Structure 1
């Protein structure tokens, strides 16, 4: 029996060592979340504009091109659920905020709490940004071992990327995503749009929960005299034509209603804005860094007009 146990332990030992190595990697190597957590406190006194939202804002709005000091708190797949958690945690720590930006686009209003992306990202918000995430059960084993949030292949690719590039951080010191460059862009936008539209369609039209989250953010901003800008970010023509047009219309109507009902809210719809062409995009629905420069200047002008 002892021999069998020894053989089993000997067999499991390499797996255990790999697990430990992955876990040390997650704990020690900086990523976008840990970098933002370290950078944000340095911005408390100077920042006047905060950008929230998902990857469309993370890659699409560069604080460098805003006239007022701006920080990008958006992140990949950051739903309105997490926007509100991030907002509630940080808004009172920023002393001079005049305006916040929320992106409300095709997936935002219907997005549920535990999407496939956020089933693992939620542990990053908790661990790296020290946020309380209600959707994480206190008995959840995963929150103690971040390497268990992803499978072996994903973990391996992440480590190999770090060994090759020396970093896995994709944002700058202003929180803006810097790796969607024109040199790396996806060539077949039309094909990518077909795939992307299919993958994001949730067939949900109940916006109630997320409207409540947006309204809560708006109410807090009203009390502090903060303007709220709702932005539908630009997407390629292939993407905008491929989504459910009735749902897109309802999203726009919802944003317009929020403007009518709240004096501190403005709405900027850039979905089919003619100032943007398909050449401005990294993929079907994300601007490349050059397109982000253009978009940031457009949004900056819009905000300046509202802050007069």
Structure 2
């Protein structure tokens, strides 16, 4: 029995090391969720206009239009549930205006249980959202294996472009 356990452990060890190594590499990559969390924590006390919503707001609304202290916290596939999380999670003492974009899918779409479920993971991993357990797939980059392999095989983005926050203030 001891021999079987030892062989099983030795067999599984390379796989475990590969998964842990992959997780570490992916977590070290710059991404929009890290940049957003960092900007909201560092400059949240200056933000007076916050833009929330899905990709329509992310790509379609330029914070400069709304003034110096506007920040676009929208994200691709961001649902109302995560808009509410962002609004309540960060300290925004000067916040006066919230721009919330709505589409027909805003009222019924959820990330969980869809082919793009892994988008919800960024809120757990990089922003501290506790909607999902740390033991769930939402706590691990490698849980979404197709995305995991795509990220590993993708060229490394330039640091300026990858972490450039949509912040217009000083």
Length-normalised TM-score, structure 2: 0.79
- Please say if residues 123 and 129 of structure 2, whose CA atoms lie closer than 8 Å, have aligned partners that are also in contact: yes
Choose the corresponding residue for 1:174, options 162, 166, 169: 166
> In 1, Cα distance between the equivalents of 2:143 and 2:33?
15
1:35 match: 35
Corresponding residue pairs, total:
168
Q: Cα gap change, 1:94/1:79 in structure 2, threshold over 3 Å: closer, same or farther?
A: same
1:81 match: 81
Q: CA deviation at 1:60?
A: 1.3
- Please say if residues 53 and 79 of structure 1, whose CA atoms lie closer than 8 Å, have aligned partners that are also in contact: yes
1:119 match: 117
- Please say if residues 121 and 141 of structure 2, whose CA atoms lie closer than 8 Å, have aligned partners that are also in contact: no
Residues 48-106 of structure 1: per-residue CA shift (max 9 Å, x gap): 2100001111111121333342101111111011111111223xx22222211111112
Q: Cα gap change, 1:141/1:99 in structure 2, threshold over 3 Å: closer, same or farther?
A: closer
Please, which runs of 5 or more residues in structure 1 have no aligned partner?
177-308
SS at the partner of 1:165?
Answer: coil
Choose the corresponding residue for 1:154, options 132, 147, 158: 147
Q: Cα gap change, 1:141/1:48 in structure 2, threshold over 3 Å: closer, same or farther?
A: closer
Bigger radius of gyration, 1 or 2? Answer: 1
- Please say if residues 49 and 68 of structure 1, whose CA atoms lie closer than 8 Å, have aligned partners that are also in contact: no
> In 2, Cα distance between the equivalents of 1:36 and 1:54?
14
> In 2, Cα distance between the equivalents of 1:65 and 1:84?
23
SS at the partner of 2:106?
Answer: coil
Length-normalised TM-score, structure 1: 0.47
Within-5 A mapping of 1:215-254: none
Please, which runs of 5 or more residues in structure 2 have no aligned partner?
none
> In 2, Cα distance between the equivalents of 1:175 and 1:94?
14
SS at the partner of 2:100?
Answer: strand
Residues 181-208 of structure 1: per-residue CA shift (max 9 Å, x gap): xxxxxxxxxxxxxxxxxxxxxxxxxxxx
- Please say if residues 70 and 167 of structure 2, whose CA atoms lie closer than 8 Å, have aligned partners that are also in contact: no
> In 2, Cα distance between the equivalents of 1:132 and 1:3?
41
Residues 16-63 of structure 1: per-residue CA shift (max 9 Å, x gap): 222111111233223211111111123223222100001111111121
2:137 match: 142
Residues 264-295 of structure 1: per-residue CA shift (max 9 Å, x gap): xxxxxxxxxxxxxxxxxxxxxxxxxxxxxxxx
1:58 match: 58
